[in-house]
Structure 1
Amino acid sequence: MGPPPPSATPAGARRVHHRRVPANLTAQYKDAELRLRQATSHDEKVEALREMLALLPKHKGTEKLHADLKKRLAKLEEEREHAARSGSHHVDLGHVRREGAGQWALVGPPNAGKSSLLAALTHAHPEIAEYPFTTHVPQPGMMPFEDVQVQLVDTPAIAPGHVEPFLPALVRGADGVVIVLDVAADDLEASLVGTLDVLLHGHVWPEGRPVPDGASPLVVPRPVLVAANKHDLDDAEGTFSQLAREAVGPGLPFFPVSATRGDGLDGLRPWLFRALRKIRVHTKEPGKKADLGKPFVLPEGAAVEALAALVHQDLAARLKFARVWGHARFDGQQVDRHHVLADGDVVELHA
């Protein structure tokens, strides 16, 4: 059969090439793809793209799709950074700029005392009232601990049928989560379950608990603790605290505290820093005393070259050796760039 007559193909018409989509995409992937098409906020799009990347089968037939998804995700993240640098009036409530040694999100039900705890631990002055839902937007504050500061972020309350849409993304962006509960509340256990559901929606789960069956492959373990607030209302035997600890169950560190009276806060501060798994390192110049002011903060297991990169971008490439005081075999020990540092070390870098 010969070619169709010229009239069958209108002038200027183009052939339509349909993109071939891999046939073995899972139902979970298709659900994430549907959420991406329906997403209206920046954070919803980023979350859906990340899940699609995690769920996409890895083989020859998905290489182009994988590259396309990564490109789209990179563009969204670049737009966020550009907006932050340019001081755009658009406010992304799901993202609070990290400061200090690390960031903790304070989450929980109405009137549990999250804002009071923030005020007690930091120099922030959030609005505090007896009525629920006083906090409408994230409120950061800096908690001093020895020679560093740790960022705490107060968040809007979590209640049945009332969760701010940006909250799961904010929780995912934090280094850890403090669940603030009212130690004397009748619905403490239900409040805990509702809060953990929000964490799971943000793909975050407590390190000490097994991840539920059917959870997203994007779920990551993070340090999560329970601050059982209003301990000052407890009786002499600590009955409320005992019942609250039983309701919380195993796998979650439990701190009875009082934001108003200060109970338990001295033990909470060091835990919040140590759970970040960070080390503090000071530097010194040859022949001079160590600079014991603000330390450099690095993740546990960081080596000398990571410190050099923090001091100056080019120093890591030019680094020859270093001398270490503190946890070395002897003071001033000469080490190479791969030497692992410890909390409290003093380091002299030689390039």
Structure 2
Amino acid sequence: MPANLTPDYFKAEEWYRSASTNEEKILALEEMLAVMPKHKGTEHLQADLKRKLSQLKDAATQPKKGGKHVDVFHVPPTGAGQVVLLGTPNTGKSAILAALTNAKVTVADFPFATHAPVPGMVKYEDVQIQLVDMPPITADYIAPGQVGTYRNCDLIAIVVDLSQDVEEQLLILLDFLETRKLLAGAETPAVDDQACPEQGRGGNVLGRKAFCLCTKADIAADGALELAKRSCEHPLEFVTISTETGEGLDAFRKYLFDTLEIIRVYAKPPGKPADMNDPFTLPAGATVHDLARTIHRELAEKLKSAKCWGTGVYDGQNVHLTHVLHDRDIVELHFG
């Protein structure tokens, strides 16, 4: 049976052959496995790639020598969460970053003005959220190194320009997410439970939450938003903004905070007022002990008691270390 390998596979294969480090080769092999058609004609090739992948991962666990490889697509996460923009050329991604952050970006009317990730910080009340602009993707070209950035972020913003062909944009963007198994909860058959443990039979647990961020609401084509919603087969939420008029930007900041499912907790040193300017951000459902571990992992083991001001408690109430915290709680930790 012929393999019938796809153009995306050959692009990843070319990346693998030109890779100069084990880290690059691992990413390229994982990409090749993800986009390869799964049928009897590719069984031997799959086995060969998985063997190479296993060998490279084993080698990666060994002590490294020499200089460190720099991955241009790696963006160290900062703030309360990392949100990465995904879009086709000239859809306003850079304009979004410019409108919401102080990052230095090139906003141009020509495509491919962004060549590498550009991070910036979005402020929502007293919380900073990282927003990352990325090079655009097309039906014909996607830099293989981009996949890791989307795989490692907290939230993917699928940018759709309402003044252009929304169906074509969504077709390209959703195909990218689906073929690389980047959507959380998407039911996809496992490539191999040992080689790719993240692709279990219960769904893609390493996928990321995503939503559609519709731009240029001020010049949207008639019925574009409704058409975009009908064209999307996934249960994604739609957020509409205009960087030109500012429409929806404040609501978008709040949407990011809510969708990241985080809470703010303020630490109060014993006998002193709480620091209300610099909260700790934790996942919703976090406990007092989780807060202690966030502050200092080793000190957390010495945590003896805590007092809490906020939701569901009276001011200064002694709470158990397993007490679940809420947004804007104030906590006083006592270590032994």
Match of 1:128 in 2: 107
State whether structure 2 residue 119 is matched by structure 1 residue 140: yes
The yes-or-no answer on 1:192 pairing with 2:173 is no
- Could you tell me whether the CA contact under 8 Å between 2:85 and 2:134 is conserved in 1? yes
Match of residue 227, structure 2, among 222, 225, 243: 243
Percent identity over the alignment is 37
One-letter amino acid of the structure 2 residue matched with residue 171 of structure 1: Y
Map 1:119-268 onto structure 2 (within 5 A): 119-186=98-165, 188-207=166-185, 210-213=186-189, 217-218=198-199, 219=204, 220-234=206-220, 239-268=223-252
Per the alignment, residue 302 of structure 1 pairs with 286
Alignment of 1:54-133 (within 5 A): 71-75=58-62, 90-133=69-112
Residue 309 of structure 1 deviates from its aligned partner by 2.1
In structure 2, relative to structure 1, the CA distance for the partners of 1:39 and 1:304 (3 Å cut) is: farther
What are the Cα deviations for residues 282-312 of structure 1, in whole angstroms up to 9, with x where unaligned? Answer: 0112222211011011112221112112223
Paired amino acid for 1:298: L
**Alpha-carbon shift at residue 338 of structure 1 (Å):** 1.7
TM-score by length of 2: 0.77
Deviation at 1:241, TM superposition (A): 2.1
Q: Distance in 2 between matches of 1:120 and 1:268?
A: 12
Give distance in 2, aligned partners of 1:241 and 1:49. Answer: 35
Contact 1:169–1:202 (CA under 8 A) maintained in structure 2:
no
Distance 1:200 1:165, change over 3 A: same
Q: Aligned Cα RMSD in Å?
A: 3.2
Point out where structure 2 has 5 or more consecutive residues left out of the alignment.
1-8, 34-51
Contact 1:93 1:170 in 2 (8 A): no
8 Å CA contact 1:282–1:345 kept in 2: the answer is yes
Mapped contact 1:103–1:153 kept (Cα < 8 A): yes
Structure 2 match to 1:45: 26
Superposition deviation, residue 116 in structure 1: 0.5
Q: Determine the structure 1 residue equivalent to 2:36.
A: none
Task: State the secondary structure of the residue aligned to 2:332.
Answer: strand
Deviates more, 1:300-309 or 1:191-200: 191-200
**2:266 equivalent to 1:285:** no
**Contact conserved, 1:321 with 1:337, CA < 8 A, in 2?**
yes
C-alpha displacement of 1:266 = 1.6
1:285 & 1:111 partners in 2: Cα distance? 49
Does the aligned pair in 1 maintain the 2:73–2:116 contact within 8 Å? no
Residue identity matched to 1:101 = A
Residue 296 (structure 2) pairs with residue 312 (structure 1): yes
**Deviation of residue 249 (structure 1)?**
4.5
C-alpha separation in 2, matches of 1:39 and 1:303: 47
Residues 66 and 212 of structure 1: CA distance in aligned 2, closer, same or farther (over 3 Å): closer
Deviation string, structure 1 residues 268-290 (Cα, Å, up to 9, x no partner): 11111221121110011222221
Q: Secondary structure at the match of 1:291?
A: coil
Structure 1 contact 111–130 (Cα < 8 Å) conserved: yes
Q: Retained in 2: the 8 A contact 1:105–1:174?
A: yes
Paired residue secondary structure (1:274)? helix
Q: Any gaps of 5 or more consecutive residues in structure 1?
A: 1-30, 53-64
Deviates more, 1:197-206 or 1:332-341: 197-206
Work out the number of aligned pairs and report it: 294
Q: Give 3-state SS (helix, strand or coil) of 2:275's partner.
A: strand
TM-score by length of 1: 0.74
d(CA) in 1 for partners of 2:280, 2:91 = 35
Query: In terms of mean alpha carbon deviation, does 293-302 or 192-201 score higher?
Result: 192-201
The CA deviation string for residues 179-202 of structure 1, in whole angstroms up to 9 with x for no partner, is: 11111212x222212222322454
Structure whose alpha-carbon radius of gyration is higher: 1
Cα 1:221–1:311, aligned 2, differ >3 Å: closer, same or farther? same
Hey, what's the Cα distance between the residues in 2 that align with 1:347 and 1:157? 43
Change (3 A) 1:214 1:71: closer
